[in-house]
Amino acid sequence: MEFKIAQLSDIEATLALHAKYQVDSIDEQDKKDGFVTTAFTKEQLTELITQEQGLFIAKQGEQVTAYVMAASWQFWSIWPMFVFMAEDLPNLNYLGRRLSVKNSYQYGPVCIDKAFRGSGLLEKIFDFSRIEMAKRYPVLITFVNKINPRSFAAHSKKLKLDVIQEFEFNNNHYYELAYDTSKSVF
């Protein structure tokens, strides 16, 4: 398995994986095992790669088996949900630090092909992405919809992210989580 920061040539394979697990296109039987809510375009992934270096992938041959997206709050500002979260950051503290758009980044979505779930791939791609992002930001911030218990368990139990608050946006209920990117991988 190869872990890398995605290049433009990886966009199509990443979008193919994304489409399998995006809430609007996922097979209904797979939804119980987790899903991605945000849809992305080729143009948005191009910007994520070229301006943020924020698309991290695992590949087996030519197949993208997993991805993590991570970027500045500026990148995410085209979506109202992220504007809401960014505006709330100064009201939050994590590990004695008042949060801001300068000292934190938005992690996620993350997607693992179901053929590789339970193999430790989540932990490996998470560590790969956060070590790269730690060069720019000390705190990772993300959210999980409360109707996605598999994702919440993966992030809170497997990856050990800390719940810093619960919030509501657009009639949905979320956990907001944080992580110290300087934590040792070992």
pLDDT digits (tens, 9 = 90+) for 75-120: 999 999 999 999 999 999 999 999 999 999 999 888 888 888 888 8
Q: Residue 10 domain-assigned?
A: yes
Q: Quick one: which H or E segment has residue 5?
A: strand 2-5
Q: Residue 185 domain-assigned?
A: no
β-partners of residue 93 are 98
Q: Tell me, rounded to whole angstroms, the distance of Cα 108 from its chain centroid.
A: 1
Whether the pLDDT of residue 123 is over 60: the answer is: yes
Say if strands 139-145 and 172-180 run parallel, antiparallel, or are unpaired: antiparallel
The region of weakest confidence among 31-45, 88-102, 144-158 is: 31-45
**Residue 67: predicted pLDDT:** 93
Asked if residues 58 and 1 have their Cβ atoms less than 8 Å apart, the reply is: yes
Whether the pLDDT of residue 26 is over 90: the answer is: no
Q: Tell me the per-residue pLDDT of 157-177, one tens digit each, with 9 for 90 and over.
A: 999 999 999 999 999 999 999
Say if strands 162-169 and 55-60 run parallel, antiparallel, or are unpaired: unpaired
The pair of three-digit structure tokens given for residue 100, joined into one six-digit string: 């801001």
Domain CATH number, residue 33: 3.40.630.30
Asked if residues 20 and 64 have their Cβ atoms less than 8 Å apart, the reply is: no
pLDDT tier for residue 41 given thresholds of 50, 70 and 90: confident
The pair of three-digit structure tokens given for residue 56, joined into one six-digit string: 């991290």
Q: Residue 173 domain-assigned?
A: yes
Q: Residue 38 domain-assigned?
A: yes
pLDDT tier for residue 40 given thresholds of 50, 70 and 90: confident
**Residue 124: predicted pLDDT:** 95
Whether the pLDDT of residue 32 is over 70: the answer is: no
Q: For the chain, what is the mean pLDDT?
A: 90
Give me the number of domains the chain comprises.
Answer: 1
Whether the pLDDT of residue 136 is over 70: the answer is: yes
List the one residue out of 21, 13, 16, 48 whose CA is nearest residue 37: 21
Q: Where are the alpha helices (DSSP H) in 99-161?
A: 121-133, 149-153
The Cα-based distances of 86 to 125, 129, 171 in angstroms read 25, 21, 18
- Locate the DSSP E strands across 84-171: 93-94, 97-98, 104-112, 139-145, 162-169
Whether the pLDDT of residue 22 is over 70: the answer is: no
Q: Residue 75 domain-assigned?
A: yes
Cα gap 106→141, rounded to integer Å:
5
**Residue 183: predicted pLDDT:** 85
**Residue 118: predicted pLDDT:** 82
Whether the pLDDT of residue 28 is over 70: the answer is: no
Count the Cβ atoms, other than its own, within 10 Å of residue 155.
25
Cα gap 66→17, rounded to integer Å:
8
Enclosing domain of residue 165: 2-180
